[in-house]
Chains A and B, each alone.
Chain A
Amino acid sequence: MSSSHTDLSKRHSEKPVFSAEKMAEVQALIAQYPEGKSKSALIRILHIAEEEFGGWLSIETMDYVAEVLNIQPIEVYEVATFYTMFNLEPTGKYVFEVCRTGPCMLVGSDSIIDYIGSKLNIKVGETSADGLFTLKTSECLGACGYGPMLQCGKKYHEHLTKERVDELIAAYSAGQTPN
């Protein structure tokens, strides 16, 4: 697993708190596990927390999740730093995660990564000046037959071409969610 370090200078200024509605959803997820095993819901809740609190997990968010699950904060940090889907720093509004693994590489993912980078004028790992897009690479996302591909939020965009990338960037820039 690649090492990740949280930049502690980046914080949430206010304590994150789930809305009553989200809290009910979280409690229902916890109830899927036997009594005393609520920690099993941790990864799912971290996904929800990330979505609810700005697209990344701050120390404040992780501490809050620990509180909700009644576990030690370190138990949350351990997990959040292990799984690569969690962002430990703020990102652009849209994160493009382009699969770079073998099968996608065979059908041209390297040139798609370069193209997105040049189009947004950023390198892998960076965020565009307008704060809209972060470009990342990802290991195999299970879309091998439909590459090159990228994931943005919950959405998979497959069969990418340069034209398709142009369309995606235009659509997201206009605040739309392309299909």
Chain B
Amino acid sequence: MGRRILLEHDNVPGIETFDVYRKNGGYRSVEKALKTMSPELVLEEVQKSGLRGRGGAGFPTGMKWSFLAKPEGVPRYLLCNADESEPGTFKDRYLMEKIPHLLIEGMIVSSYCLGANQSYIYIRGEYMWVLEILEKAIAEAYAKGFLGKNILGSGYDLDLSVAPGGGAYICGEETALIESLEGKRGNPRMKPPFPAVKGLYGCPTVVNNVESIAAVVPIVNDGGEEYAKIGLGKSTGTKLISACGNLARPGVYEIEMGITVEEFIYGDDYCRGIANGKKLKACVPGGSSVPILPHYLVTKTAAGEDRLMTYESLADGGFSSGSMLGSGGFIVFDEDQCIVRNTWNFARFYAHESCGQCSPCREGTGWMEKVLHRLEHGQGNMRDIDLLAEINKKIEGNTICPLGDAAAWPVAAAIRHFRDEFEWHVNEREESQKRNYGLIREPQSIA
């Protein structure tokens, strides 16, 4: 098993309680930061760590924090994005369920750094039992003097509470999350102004993913430089990967960035290969929004190098032969899966979750779903395949938030790599309703 920093104690009995968590080294970073470090020094460590946002975009956390406006007399807010709704992603749930105090500890130190005296964890409404676990842990932290007024006698005050959503993927987008937390529909806001200037209640706000905030704990404990030694290049630290689909051992794994995709899929410490002894057909390595990779581009890049579990290596080849690390929602397809069906399934997801604010996304996601439904059910024609590409181009870049892009990319990638399978659904309408296409051959140019 690789290096575990966040999930080091996930199997310690009672780790969800304050006392056991504390005995295992918990809340040290709060003592260290509040007693010996200025907020500026904490920010410096986070910047040195090279930590990149773990929600999907991979934007440097320290840089995001440095953008926070600090006008006199205006409150600032830290919001934790626990909306986790990207298909394939269930890592934050695991962390919060198992080690709720790790998130709370991270929230205290991060809020201190940002000068926030009121912070919220926005969690998807379906995780109501996780919300209850967090609230219990928060109550313990208050009782032990780690939340509330004058924490550990430092003079720093922080209130922390949890707010549920109501079932809307879009609320994982930071400005939609803010709208939702204000008690409104989750319609994303135009940027600028960015949340760092005008966020919750019009005040400067930082929104960070659960895992990013948890990672601040080891960064403060051991220093940013130590953290940056873990991982590879600009992909510093560890990453939680939620592996699912047709794997022998799906689940949440903490990996040191830089291990090979080969090891992750087939290694004994990780997923132990494809379920039922079948062959790998494709992989979506970073949540449903990122491009799908055919089997010959999963463990190797187009240049024939080992594909690594890093931001850079998974993106190697751009959108023509690469993908993205994204949220770490690692979805694996075996040889029996139908790519057209899965593409239709994802398109249906985005059509369902479009907030409806921008016409290209509201209408476009619906059209794509209908066209893909037609193709999958043996009623499509060749023009439909190009029509999908056209709709794609009309959505991409023409919407307020990235949901439109997120809906367009997977369709474009599926057609790019699996065009023969789409054409087969048109040419062999009856046959395609009876069986699956199977594996595709490796193109000669890449072999």
A residues neighboring B (CB under 8 Å)? 1-2, 32, 34, 37, 39-44, 46-47, 69, 71, 75, 78-79, 82-86, 100-103, 105-107, 138-147, 151, 154-156
Contact = CB atoms under 8 A, between A and B. Distances in A.
Interface in B55-80: 75
21 contacts: A1-B168, A43-B180, A47-B125, A78-B184, A102-B88, A102-B331, A102-B342, A103-B87, A103-B329, A106-B331, A139-B349, A140-B86, A141-B126, A142-B89, A142-B124, A143-B90, A144-B245, A144-B331, A145-B243, A145-B250, A154-B128
A83 B345 contact: no
A82 B252 contact: no
B165 interface: yes
B352 to A, nearest CB: 5
Given A84-B167, A105-B342, A144-B88, A37 B182 contact: yes
A143 B130 CA distance: 13
Interface of B: 75, 84-90, 93, 118, 124-129, 159, 161, 163-170, 180-186, 201, 242-246, 250-252, 284, 288, 329, 331, 333, 337, 341-342, 345-346, 349, 352-356
Contacts of A145: 90, 242-244, 250-252
Contacts of A34: 75, 118, 201
Given A85-B125, A145-B251, A102 B185 contact: no
A117 B41 CA distance: 59
Contacts of A40: 163, 181-183
A66 to B, nearest CB: 11
A106 B252 contact: no
Closest 4 CB pairs between A and B? A83-B166, A85-B167, A39-B183, A42-B183
Nearest to B167: A85
A69 B342 CA distance: 43
Nearest to A155: B129
A33 to B, nearest CB: 8
A106 B333 contact: yes
A85 B341 CA distance: 26
B168 A37 contact: no
A37 B118 CA distance: 13
B166 A82 contact: yes
B108 to A, nearest CB: 17
Contacts of A155: 129
Contacts of A82: 166, 168, 185-186, 355
A44 B166 CA distance: 8
A101 B166 contact: no
B129 A154 contact: yes
A107 B341 CA distance: 13
Contacts of B167: 83-86, 138
Nearest to A50: B166
Given A85-B126, A143-B90, A106 B245 contact: yes
Contacts of B250: 144-146
Contact of A103 (B75, B244, B353): B244
A162 B355 CA distance: 35
Contacts of A42: 183
Contacts of B180: 43
B183 A142 contact: no
